[in-house]
Amino acid sequence: MEISGIISALLIGLVVGALGRLALPGRQRVGLLWTIAVGIVAALVGSVIAAALGVADTGGVDWIQWLIQIALAAVGVAALDRSRSRTRA
């Protein structure tokens, strides 16, 4: 992965975190900074997974890569929400 890919993954991570949070039903007890952090990690990991699957560089918008990243962000936000609810209970 090139440096431009890492920078774009970081910027896309901001959007991915928000979309991943919106994909979950109900209210999440996860703050904005944690959502952004999960989105950045999901974007980076999703880019690596998409590259490994050979779907990272396609003509036009990389829809499969976006879906992978959003799904990872949703899983990450849900896991963080679940772990935070256990520590508060």
- Domain locations in the chain as residue ranges: 3-88
Q: What angle do CA 59, 62, 65 make, to 5 degrees?
A: 145
The 10s digit of each residue's pLDDT in 38-85 is 888 888 898 899 989 988 777 887 888 888 988 898 888 888 888 877
Rounded to two decimals, what is the model's pTM? Answer: 0.76
Q: Is the predicted pLDDT of residue 35 greater than 60, yes or no?
A: yes
DSSP state letter for 54: T
5: which residues sit within 8 A by CB, 6+ positions away? 47
